A and B are shown apart, each in its own frame.
Chain A
Amino acid sequence: MSKPVKTDTKELERELRVLGLGSPDLCFQCSRCTSGCEAMKLLELQPHFVMASVRSGFIREMVNSDALWACVGCYKCRERCPQNVSPVEIMYLLKNKYVRSGRSIPGDYQTMLQNLMTCGFIQKNIEVLDNKGNLHERSELGLPEIEGVSDVSKFMELISRLAIEKICGERV
């Protein structure tokens, strides 16, 4: 049986304060977040359920929930919450905790992180087809070269350092 963990709740509330966001304690389960959720119909994400669990201290259970990764980041839940709670951002923080636990990151994020480190952007220039089926590179299209980060190897070190930082320092 799962038991609520008070210290997890305290940590989440501290993170929310740093971001200037309200505590999930304020949620009274009106479910407006879920009724507008873009990932509800197709992928069964229910933000009000996540809020209820988090509010009761079942944070570890939510950190381990696959459903959170279905969030599209549409911000309708934040927009429509009558209590100024932001389910979308609470879910980001829960996913951050999952990533910190060292388990494998879902989807293409690992590749995107790799690209971020090696070129400063989430992907390198892609060759595209025009509507006649001919391939084009960026450089042939009359577009200027994008000058990315000045010092790539320093930037790579910086990203590795950033990846282990938390939104609030260790102070309690």
Chain B
Amino acid sequence: MNKRIGLYPGCVMPTEQYGYEISIRQVLPELGIELIDVGNTSCCGAPFKNINIFMQTYLSARNIAVFEMKGLDIFTPCPQCNLSLQETKQRIEGSAELNERILTMLEEEEGLKYRGDAKIYQTLDLLHDVVGTAALAEKVIEPLDLNIACHYGCQTVRYTGAERPDIAEHPMKMERIITAIGGRTGDYSEKLNCCGGPLIITHRESSFTKAGEKIKAVKDRGFDALSIVCPLGGRVLDSKQDKASEMVGEKLDLPVFYLTQLVGLSLGKSPGELGIDLNRSPAGRSLK
């Protein structure tokens, strides 16, 4: 399996969640996915749905057009970016009025041509469906000796209809990937709960409380670690886990990994090569 795909970095991953990006760049090429960097990307507009939905739609459309003009499908490691791009495709397809306004503006303002036929992937479908769990399992050198809880993230799986990579109310692809790389996993009733990440913009303390509640639930159920695929999730569940601990009044110390870091470990890469030393939760310690 060989595929060339454009890497759309978004905002949060390339400016602070470096461990996610490092592991993506280390792992995917080894699995036959060639990542292409293109210039002229910007924010997808997702956070600005709250401010101006037209602006969000334009920003997503412009980023789709940037990749389409290079003839590339798109990989969005961030689920928020992915939803914003997917729903923009649908809106432009569904409304003649919006189609005309956005396409004209793209052309006139930035010389961009939008077609809307690029495929847009997330980490989950790229690993599970494009690479495939059987092909992944064949490459495993160091089976993962951990019991991992999976956190999908809200916009990874919702809403149905916006080409999500898994079933909204019962996603299982991350568990199947964990199993393919030798890890153990299981269900827990808080699996679909929000991490509180987006709340950091307007309700900082509540954001950390939600993150703390989620981490505590995972810990109380005896998992060794948590696997994530969302940079906003990484920010509150990993980078700011100490703040989440304060809010729930308990030292949480739950190792949190990006799924791509776990896959990298199973391929025999060292924690250093995968940016695991940048995880602020005790991820590195859990491997010794």
Contact = CB atoms under 8 A, between A and B. Distances in A.
A161 B106 CA distance: 13
Interface in A67-82: 69-70, 72-76, 78-79
Interface string A128-172: 111110001010011110111110001100110111011111000
Contact of A109 (B47, B94, B110): B47
A52 interface: no
A128 B206 contact: no
A128 B275 CA distance: 12
B275 to A, nearest CB: 7
A130 B154 contact: no
Interface string A48-92: 000000000000000000000110111110110000001001001
B99 to A, nearest CB: 10
Given A93-B53, A113-B51, A158-B110, A131 B201 contact: no
B215 to A, nearest CB: 15
A148 B44 CA distance: 12
Contact of A143 (B21, B54, B194): B21
B248 interface: no
A121 to B, nearest CB: 4
A128 B262 CA distance: 21
A142 B272 CA distance: 12
Contacts of A19: 53, 91, 95
Nearest to A132: B277
Interface string B163-207: 000001100000000000000000000001110111111110010
A10 interface: no
A71 B90 CA distance: 23
Nearest to A125: B15
Given A18-B98, A162-B52, A169-B97, A38 B210 contact: yes
A162 B194 CA distance: 31
Interface string A96-134: 100100000111110011001000111111101111100
A158 B107 CA distance: 12
Interface size class of A (residues with CB under 8 A): 35 or more
B53 A167 contact: yes
Chain A at the B interface: SS class: loop
Interface in A10-49: 17-20, 38-39, 42-43
A103 B67 CA distance: 36
Interface stretch (B126-134, B138-146, B278-286): B278-286
A130 B40 CA distance: 30
Contact of B202 (A69, A89, A120, A159): A69
Interface in B195-237: 196-203, 206, 209-210
Contacts of B283: 131
A95 B47 CA distance: 12
A106 B49 contact: no
A38 B206 CA distance: 11
Contacts of B49: 73, 92
B190 to A, nearest CB: 12
A69 B196 contact: no
B28 interface: no
B159 A128 contact: no
Given A42-B209, A121-B43, A109 B201 contact: yes
Chain B CB count within 10 A is highest, among A89, A113, A130, A132, for A130
Nearest to A78: B159
Contacts of B29: none
Contact of A20 (B37, B94, B159): B94
B102 to A, nearest CB: 10
Interface of B: 9, 11-12, 14-16, 18, 21-22, 25, 37-43, 47-55, 57-59, 80, 83, 90-91, 94-95, 97-98, 101, 109-110, 154-155, 158-160, 168-169, 192-194, 196-203, 206, 209-210, 239, 275, 277-280, 282-284
9 contacts: A73-B49, A73-B155, A74-B154, A99-B51, A106-B202, A112-B201, A121-B11, A129-B280, A147-B40
